[in-house]
């Protein structure tokens, strides 16, 4: 039996983090294999969002997970799948690289499969040697944006895993009378001008506003937005990722657009037929480079760089892209299906 070791920990209060890793886990369901899933110290609500199998071996301790990886690698029965999502090159990542780089080399030397996908570097201009220690051993290397690929000079670019989740375009409803708004709570509050633009945009398109909480720590900001925009709020206290994901997707499926500075709010909105509008207060490079990595146009715009009329014109123009959104999302899923085939071929090729 092949033992597949995969890390899927993320931010415990962030639905986007569990969504993208659930999608990745779906690609590594290999016959005659046992998954060893590292979740770390995340809450049970996050683990619920991963939709793990009852036969998965789940680890909260990275050290224990690494020891078992070493044990099975020495018998020639281990494969290794790195975590997806955003990676920071910090002290913790350096430690992981120094320990798991040699483990990855051992896995490769003993005939195991190695996969490194869905990663975006928070700062692509930083020295990414800890990440490269592991990625350089993988036969399947896929980043979610071109700057991350250029930083490491290896692999190729595929859409973020989260694009593969959600409804089929042919299932999208036509009745969309809502504007969903989901903004970060750890950034400065929206300016009065930003509020005015969003209110006017909703008014001219006859849309009611719903402030959506997709990351639990943003709930206070959602409440503020609902008040300032004369809208309602979809709250979340961090419990049950699966329940809140269903609620959020239900809202997005009835929304003409999603305005957010949260990248995965925009991605999840797009996968439910809502036009992604990265109308931010400050600049966000991550949104643009990730959407472009998926083969889509950059949906982001810093409101402070332009005047009211220019911003309204931009929002109106972006809303018109709804006519191509279905084919755009279908295209990202075709690319992800190609990546899934490469992953399964890599992991099955080492099966015993």
**Count of other CB atoms within 10 angstroms of residue 97:** 20
85 φ/ψ sector (left φ>0, alpha ψ -120 to 50, else beta): left
Could you tell me the CATH number of the domain that includes residue 10?
3.40.50
Could you tell me if 197 and 159 lie in one domain? no
Could you tell me if 130 and 209 lie in one domain? no
Could you tell me if 230 and 300 lie in one domain? yes
In this prediction, residues 150-174 reach a mean pLDDT of 96
User: How many folded domains does the chain comprise?
Assistant: 2
Could you tell me if 234 and 311 lie in one domain? yes
Q: Is the pLDDT of residue 157 over 80?
A: yes
Could you tell me if 7 and 142 lie in one domain? yes
Could you tell me if 231 and 291 lie in one domain? yes
Could you tell me if 204 and 135 lie in one domain? no
Could you tell me if 175 and 135 lie in one domain? no
- Residue 126: band (very low, low, confident or very high) from pLDDT cuts 50, 70, 90: confident
Across the strands, what pairs with 57? 36
Task: Kindly report, residue by residue over 311-351, the tens digit of the pLDDT.
Answer: 999 999 999 989 999 999 999 999 999 999 999 999 997 43
Task: Kindly report, residue by residue over 207-231, the tens digit of the pLDDT.
Answer: 999 999 999 999 999 999 999 999 9
Task: Kindly report, residue by residue over 229-246, the tens digit of the pLDDT.
Answer: 999 999 998 899 999 999
Could you tell me if 146 and 178 lie in one domain? no
Could you tell me the CATH number of the domain that includes residue 178?
3.40.50.2000
pLDDT at 349: 78
Could you tell me if 214 and 191 lie in one domain? yes
Could you tell me if 114 and 179 lie in one domain? no
Q: Three-class SS of residue 74?
A: helix
Where in the sequence is the domain holding 105, given as residue range(s)? 2-163+332-349
**Percent of the chain topping pLDDT 90:** 95
Could you tell me if 282 and 336 lie in one domain? no
Pair 231, 225: CB distance under 8 Å:
yes
Q: How far apart are CA 7 and CA 87, in angstroms?
A: 13
């Amino acid at each position: 039996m092949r033992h597949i070791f995969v890390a899927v920990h993320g931010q415990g209060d962030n639905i986007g983090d569990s969504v993208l890793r659930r999608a990745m886990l779906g690609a590594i369901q290999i016959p005659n294999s046992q998954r060893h899933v590292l979740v770390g110290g995340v809450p049970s609500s996050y683990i619920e969002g991963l939709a793990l199998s009852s036969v998965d071996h789940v680890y909260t301790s990275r050290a224990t997970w690494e020891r078992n990886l070493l044990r099975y690698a020495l018998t020639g029965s281990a494969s290794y799948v790195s975590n997806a999502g955003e990676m920071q090159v910090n002290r913790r990542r350096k430690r992981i690289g120094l320990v798991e780089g040699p483990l990855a080399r051992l896995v490769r030397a003993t005939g195991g499969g190695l996969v490194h996908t869905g990663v975006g570097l928070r700062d692509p201009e930083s020295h990414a040697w800890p990440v490269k220690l592991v990625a350089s051993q993988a036969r399947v290397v896929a980043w979610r944006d071109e700057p991350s690929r250029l930083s490491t000079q290896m692999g190729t670019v595929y859409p973020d895993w989260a694009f593969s989740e959600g409804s089929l375009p042919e299932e999208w409803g036509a009745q969309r009378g809502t504007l969903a708004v989901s903004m970060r709570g750890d950034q400065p509050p929206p300016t009065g001008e930003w509020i005015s633009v969003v209110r006017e945009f909703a008014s001219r398109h006859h849309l009611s506003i719903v402030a959506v909480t997709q990351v639990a720590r943003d709930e206070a900001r959602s409440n503020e937005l609902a008040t300032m925009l004369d809208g309602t709020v979809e709250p979340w206290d961090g419990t049950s990722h699966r329940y809140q994901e269903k609620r959020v997707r239900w809202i997005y499926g009835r929304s003409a657009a999603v305005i957010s500075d949260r990248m995965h709010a925009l991605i999840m909105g797009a996968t439910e037929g809502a036009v992604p509008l990265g109308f931010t207060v400050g600049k966000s490079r991550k949104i643009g480079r990730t959407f472009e990595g998926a083969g889509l146009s950059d949906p982001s715009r810093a409101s402070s760089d332009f005047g009211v009329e220019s911003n309204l014109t931009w929002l109106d123009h972006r809303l018109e892209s709804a006519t191509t959104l279905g084919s755009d999302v279908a295209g990202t899923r075709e690319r992800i299906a190609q990546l899934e085939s490469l992953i399964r071929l890599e992991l099955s090729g080492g099966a015993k």
